[in-house]
Structure 1
Amino acid sequence: MSLNYNELFKQMAATPQVQAATKKKAEKLRRMLEIRWPEVHELSKSGQRFLDDGGDEIIRVTEATEGTNRPVQIVTVRHPRAVEHQANTGFVTKAVKDVS
């Protein structure tokens, strides 16, 4: 009898404990991003238009639900200067290292 590792992984990934652990890690990353860039929530009126979908979250955590057989949380920094700030300070790289 051989183990079906793919099916075993899917079952383990679907457990509430694993789901909660990935969500907790994503929220921790959100906090580290805010610590590394405290001004992230300061947006001008023109910057507010960057949040085109009507939501007001600058740092958004969403769960990937399609195309993956593992629990995935996507952390998005929705700020017009995010790429520039990453290039100058490396705030995302440092925040990821902080939570790793």
Structure 2
Amino acid sequence: MRGVIAWLGDRITEPVNIDQIAAEAGMSPATLHRHFTAATGMSPLRYQKHLRLLSARRQLLAGDVTAAQVAHTVGYTSATQFSREYRAFYGLPPVRDITRLRAGTTSTAPAHPS
């Protein structure tokens, strides 16, 4: 699974599907899903989303960029979809989350890890 994890990490900005990931792993999609979930606790596509959101949060914290700019940078085609997924993962929309983090009023842990 390390190879697949690295492969996904190298492609966080690219659209991928389960068939591509399975081909990279040399497994059927069902077998890949089972092994990947056992190794990481999430599906391959959820893992890619997780990586995108982590990268986005780091970029938002580090610089003077908008959520829309970061959404595009990490591979989202829709800033609205990015904001929706960010909020679902971290519990707040991007701007409010970053404002709270910069104020030091919370930890950087996601609202829920799944």
| Length-normalised TM-score, structure 1 | 0.33
Q: Flag the structure with larger Rg.
A: 1
Instruction: Tell me which protein shows more strand as a share of its residues.
Output: 1
TM-score (normalised: structure 2): 0.30
Task: Point out which structure has higher relative CO (alpha carbons under 8 A, 6+ apart).
Answer: 1
The answer to which structure has the higher helix fraction is 2
